[in-house]
Amino acid sequence: MLWNKKNFWFSWLLLIYFLLLFNSCKENLNDQNPPLEKDFSKAPEGFPPIPFPPDNPYSRAKFELGRRLFYDKILVKDSSFKSCSHCLKQAHNFQDNVPNSIGYNKIPEPRNTMSLTNVAYFDKIFWDGRGKRIEQPAYRSLFLPYIFGLDTNELQMRLERHPLYPKLFKAAFGENARPSAWLVAQAISTFVRCLVSGNSPYDKYVRGDTNALTDSQKRGMKLFFSERTKCSVCHSGFLFTDLQFHNTGTTQHYFDFGRYYVTGDFRDRNKFLTPSLRNVEVSAPYLHDGTYKTLEQVIENYNRGGFPTINKDTLIKPLNLTQQEKEDLINFLKSLTDWEFLTNPDFAEPK
């Protein structure tokens, strides 16, 4: 090819172009701001900040470690199921879809598994409120013979021999950290505190999107918050629970005395923690014993004013709902389903 004037200028232009390109890459590398990464410690609009305890603050590395452990067979003695997620299923609002969950040794839980969704905001956990913070069950589950059935040495050995975990524990807890039961519980608790759901059609409606609810759901919402049904007296606030204990007369004979086992107070017999109603559409079966299979059955019980039983709450009275009103109430409960949360890949098993 002949070297002419046109080629000469063209080469110069090309050179300048590459120099500019190189410089802009360099700038990017030196950028002071790290790339934007997801912050799972942020609460949805209208929710208070997620309360992380000072002795176990949020970090992305801890979240990722906790998430991996939540889904890992390594925590189960015979590795026959995927640890926490075996009974706490994302598609079912991080609870189980059977009345009694079955862990290691195939021993069924005596009560229906409660949801982990929004549990960061609960000041008491379990149907009888005996739990105080998430770290407790996260730690105890490792060793209970009917949950994971491990022992400390076995757990430590398994995690230390793993190709990934020693590095992940260092990333989450510092260079000197070695895998231990306590750190497992801390990491899992961090992941669990981030399981916050607040993007249902109802939430969108509250934030101003008047089209987020159907007409039936709007009618159901009015009923739910009315003096007549009193649903929102117990299912109150952004969590749809007052975090108190009540009896709703779901049966005449209670085999489980609930809160009574914690306080020993006869007035607490047959009382259970008001469950949150968020994502209740996907969390059947219902109640502390999982005896009601459908929302229709639950509404029917409120409509009849419950069965006569010891300590039934004075708020539970016959409602005389029409068929349409029952349907509206159920449709309103379905407006509390946050599909984004239930299908969010960030909370699913890591690849």
Residue ranges in contact with ligand HEC by CB under 6 A: 229-231, 233-235, 246, 248, 250, 272, 274-275, 277, 280, 283, 286-288, 295, 298, 302, 313, 315-316, 329, 333
Nearer to ligand HEC among residue 62 and residue 288 (C-beta): 288
Nearer to ligand HEC, 151 or 296 (CB): 296
Closer to ligand HEC by Cβ: residue 138 or 231: 231
Q: How far apart are CA 316 and CA 313, in angstroms?
A: 6
Cβ(187)–Cβ(65) under 8 Å?
A: yes
Spatial distance between the Cα atoms of 271 and 313, rounded to a whole number of angstroms: 9
Report the distance separating Cα 67 and Cα 192, nearest Å: 8
Return the number of the residue (149 or 275) whose C-beta is nearest ligand HEC. Answer: 275
Closest to ligand HEC by CB, 68 vs 92, is: 92
Q: Name residue 312's amino acid.
A: K
Question: Between 41 and 115, whose beta carbon lies closer to ligand HEC?
Answer: 115
Rounded Cα distance between 278 and 30, Å, is: 45
Q: Residue 255: phi, psi to the nearest 5?
A: -85, -20
In whole angstroms, how close is the CB of 280 to ligand HEC at the nearest point? 5
Q: With the C-alpha atoms ordered 143, 97, 325, 211, is the resulting torsion angle positive or negative?
A: positive
Q: Which residue has the tokens 């229709």?
A: 296
Residue 56's Cβ-count burial label (10 Å; 0-12, 13-18, 19+) is: middle
Cβ-contact 350, 168 below 8 angstroms? no
Q: Least Å distance between CB 268 and ligand HEC?
A: 12
Tell me the Cα Rg of the chain. 26
Least Å from the CB of residue 102 to ligand HEC = 19
Supply the minimum distance, in Å, between the C-beta of residue 290 and ligand HEC. Answer: 8
For the CB of residue 146, give the shortest distance to ligand HEC in the complex, in Å: 22
63 or 332: whose CB is closer to ligand HEC?
Answer: 332
CB of 41 to ligand HEC, least distance (A): 26
* Closest separation in Å from C-beta 333 to ligand HEC: 6
Contacts of 184 (CB under 8 A, 6+ apart): 69, 75, 138, 139, 142, 155, 159
